[in-house]
Amino acid sequence: MSAWNVGKVVEHKQWNKTLHSLYIESDIEPFEAGQFVKIALEINGELVGRPYSLVNPPDSQPLEFFYIEIPNGPLTSHLVNLKPSDNIQVATRAHGFLTLDEVPAAKYLWLMATGTGVGPFLSILMTDKPWLRYERVILVYAVRTLSELSYQERIMQILTNHSGQFSYIPFVSRETSDFALTGRIPQAISDGRLEAQAGIKINADNSQVMLCGNPQMLKDTSNTLIERGLKKHRRFEPGQITVENYW
Ligand SMILES: Cc1cc2nc3c(=O)[nH]c(=O)nc-3n(C[C@H](O)[C@H](O)[C@H](O)COP(=O)(O)OP(=O)(O)OC[C@H]3O[C@@H](n4cnc5c(N)ncnc54)[C@H](O)[C@@H]3O)c2cc1C
Ligand SMILES: NC(=O)c1ccc[n+]([C@@H]2O[C@H](COP(=O)([O-])OP(=O)(O)OC[C@H]3O[C@@H](n4cnc5c(N)ncnc54)[C@H](OP(=O)(O)O)[C@@H]3O)[C@@H](O)[C@H]2O)c1
């Protein structure tokens, strides 16, 4: 396969003022849940490409991407104009290490995301692997406002399919609600609110933690977990924290 294929937009869903899901039919080499692929548009005669996590599970079409419009963003300010039957370039090969093949076995798997960083975890949760490998899987999904909590129906479906094994803990940082925890993930680990909500403790012996989204959240959460005795996971130096920075 060549490096790029011409994909066709089949759907473009808008969740709120800034959040969108883009569905593209395009051939792609086999990928692992949690990986990302580059998509690109020709803008003023130049190919502008960015990496996006695949939200759909492997072996499925269309490819699904969850993105936020960045004001004046070189690519996203153009992505928002795409409509069904438009063409878009899609790289043929996915990359990335935010996959369960890279994460050791443990009793508990914690998936912690801010904003669009929930995308790769949704792909992972649609596969068999987490349910075969971990006794409990906890999705922690943090956004600024309630209206930014996307994919709630899909998450509820996962809860139904895996009741007893799956917990969903949403965070909303800039509004209060009786549905979500308030504030930020690292603070809620430090003050015990996250573990109280999950009903289990995080420690180096029982947990693997995957983090995705805002780089500052990744840093602050990693530091909080390191204070608890967890360490960064590396292929040749196993630990408990696996991260993917979005910017
Ligand atoms: C491995 C990887 C996977 C990624 N997957 C996704 C994804 O699934 N969905 C997605 O929306 N973005 C994702 N991104 C970010 C994406 O590649 C683009 O950077 C983003 O869509 C903005 O593109 P842009 O050209 O409009 O602006 P850029 O010039 O690329 O970014 C401008 C600024 O926007 C902010 N920003 C970028 N991405 C985000 C974001 N996701 N949420 C909040 N603020 C952001 C940062 O402050 C950044 O400096 C991923 C990045 C990486 C490295
Ligand atoms: N979301 C919007 O309404 C909006 C509007 C216009 C433009 N944008 C653009 O989108 C980008 C922001 O997108 P976003 O809202 O998805 O992402 P975000 O700023 O990363 O916020 C998502 C969640 O992460 C939390 N967070 C931020 N820093 C953290 C840290 N160090 N530790 C723990 N949690 C942390 C936020 O909490 P806090 O709320 O406490 O920061 C929020 O709950 C901006 O770059 C901006 O250009 C967004």
Q: For 31-58, how does the pLDDT look when each residue is reduced to its tens digit (9 = 90+)? A: 999 999 999 999 999 999 999 999 999 9
Q: Which of 74, 91, 108 is the last residue of a domain?
A: 91
- What is the atom index within ligand 1 of the atom nearest the CA of 114? 42
The percent of the chain in helix, strand and coil, each rounded to the nearest 5, is: 25, 35, 40
CA distance 78 to 72: 9
Residue 35: CB within 6 Å of ligand 1?
no
Question: What's the pLDDT score for residue 44?
Answer: 95
How many other C-beta atoms lie within 10 A of the C-beta of residue 44?
Answer: 5
Residue 121: CB within 6 Å of ligand 1?
no
What spacing in Å lies between the alpha carbon of 17 and ligand 2's midpoint? 14
pLDDT over 80 (residue 171): yes
Q: Which residues of 128-148 are buried (b: 16+ CB within 10 A; e: fewer)?
A: ebbbeebebbbbbbbbeeeeb
Which tokens hold the place of 133? 């490998």
Q: Which of 34, 62, 91 is the last residue of a domain?
A: 91
Give the mean model confidence (pLDDT) for residues 202-225.
98
Give the mean model confidence (pLDDT) for residues 227-233.
97
Q: How confident is the model at residue 2 (pLDDT cuts 50, 70, 90)?
A: low
pLDDT tens for 65-105 read: 999 999 999 999 999 999 999 999 999 999 999 999 999 99
- 105 and 87 fall within a common domain: no
Which tokens hold the place of 118? 């929930």
- 13 and 110 fall within a common domain: no
Best of 16, 80, 114 for a ligand 2 pocket test (most atoms within 8 Å of beta carbon): 114
How many other C-beta atoms lie within 10 A of the C-beta of residue 31?
Answer: 21
> How many domains does one find in the chain?
2
CA-proximal residue: ligand 1, atom 26 (nearest): 73
CA distance 192 to 197: 9
- SS3 annotation, 78-108: HHCCCCCCCEEEEECCCECCCCHHHCCCCCE
Residue 162: CB within 6 Å of ligand 1?
no
Mean pLDDT of the chain: 97
- 82 and 141 fall within a common domain: no
pLDDT tens for 113-128 read: 999 999 999 999 999 9
Q: Which of 91, 113, 138 is the last residue of a domain?
A: 91
Q: Residue 11 is part of which domain span? A: 4-91
Residue 140: CB within 6 Å of ligand 2?
no
pLDDT tens for 127-167 read: 999 999 999 999 999 999 999 999 999 999 999 999 999 99
Sign of the torsion angle spanned by Cα atoms 4, 7, 11, 17: positive
- 235 and 217 fall within a common domain: yes
3-state secondary structure of 247: coil
Q: Which residues of 47-74 are buried (b: 16+ CB within 10 A; e: fewer)?
A: ebbbebbbbbbbeeebbbbbbbbeeeee
Name beta bridge partners: 112: 140, 211
